[in-house]
Structure 1
C-alpha cells in the first residue's frame, strides 16, 4: 500500500471532521470568512515552520514556493484584522511525520480551491487560491508515493495531529463568530 493510500485510509475520520467543521463557516459573510482565515492562521504558520525544522526542503525542493502563511497573513490584514495567537507548534522528528503533516497542508489546497468559489470577489482570497508551481500537486503526490518510510503509522499520527490542530482552531474561531 502506498503512503498516500495509508494516509487516506488512516485519516479519513479526521479529514471528514475537519471538512464538516470548516463547512459550517458561511464564507460569503465577512464575519465567518474572517473567522475561517483566523482559524487557519492559528495553525498554518506553525505547521510550515515545523515542516521546515523537520527537513521538508530535502523532500520537496520547491517547498518555498508551496508556503502559504504569507498569503494568509496578507488576506487577514486586508480584512483589517490582526493575526491570532498560534497554537503550539508540533515537532516532526521523522521523515514519515514530515510526509504526514505535509499531506494535510498540501491536501488543504484542493479543499481551499473549492471553498474559494463561495468567497465573494470583493474579499481577499489569495490564501484559498494560491498560484503555486505548475504541477505542484502531481509532483507532491508522486514524491509521496515514491517515499520509502519504514512506518506509515508515524506519518498517519502526524497527519492526525495536524487535523486535530485545525479542528481545535476552527472550534475556537467558530465560537467567536457573532
Structure 2
C-alpha cells in the first residue's frame, strides 16, 4: 500500500470530523469567514514552522511556493482582523512525521479551492485560492509515495496530530462566534 493510500485510509475519520466541524462556518457571512480564517491561523503558522524546522524544503524543493501563512495573514489583515495566538506546533522528529503533517496541509488546499467558490467576491480569498507550482498536488503525491516509508504509522500519527490541531482550533473559534 502506498503511503498516500495509508494516510488517506487511516485518517479518513479525522478528515471527516474536520470537514464536519468547519462545515459549520458559513463562508458567505463575513463574521463566519473571519472566524474560519482565525481558526486556520491558529494552526497553519505552527505547522508550517514545524515543517520548516524539520527540513521540508529538503523533501519538497518547491516548499517556498507551497507556503500559505503569508496569504492567510494578508486575508485576515484585509478583513480588519488580527492573527490569533497559534496553537503549539507539532513535534516532527523524522521524515515520516514531516510527510504526515505535510499531507494534511497539502490536502487542505483541495478543500480550500472548493470553499473559495463560496466566499463572496468582495472578500479576500487568496488563502483559499489555488497556489503553488503547476500540478502541485500530483507532484506532492508522487514525492510522498516515492519516500519509501517502511512503516507508515509515524506519518499517520503526525497527520492525525495535525487534524487534531484543526479540530481544537475550530472548536475554540466556534465557541467565540455569536
TM-score (norm 2): 0.98
Structure 2: stretches of 5+ with no match in the other structure: none
Partner SS, residue 124 of structure 1: coil
CA distance in 1, matches of 2:85, 2:32: 18
1:6-55 per-residue CA deviation (whole Å, 9 max, x = no partner) reads 00011000000000000110000001000000000000001000001111
> Are positions 1:36 and 2:36 aligned together?
yes
Flag as ranges the 4+ runs of structure 1 deviating above 6 A: none
Structure 1: stretches of 5+ with no match in the other structure: none
1:172 maps to what in 2? Answer: 172
CA distance in 2, matches of 1:42, 1:62: 24
CA distance in 1, matches of 2:55, 2:151: 17
> Are positions 1:145 and 2:145 aligned together?
yes
CA distance in 1, matches of 2:159, 2:131: 24
Q: Check conservation: 1:68, 1:130, Cα contact below 8 A.
A: no
User: How many angstroms does 1:130 deviate by?
Assistant: 3.6
Give the aligned length. 178
2:107 maps to what in 1? Answer: 107
5 Å-filtered alignment, 1:1-178, equals: 1-178=1-178
1:51-95 per-residue CA deviation (whole Å, 9 max, x = no partner) reads 011111111000011000000000000000010000011120011
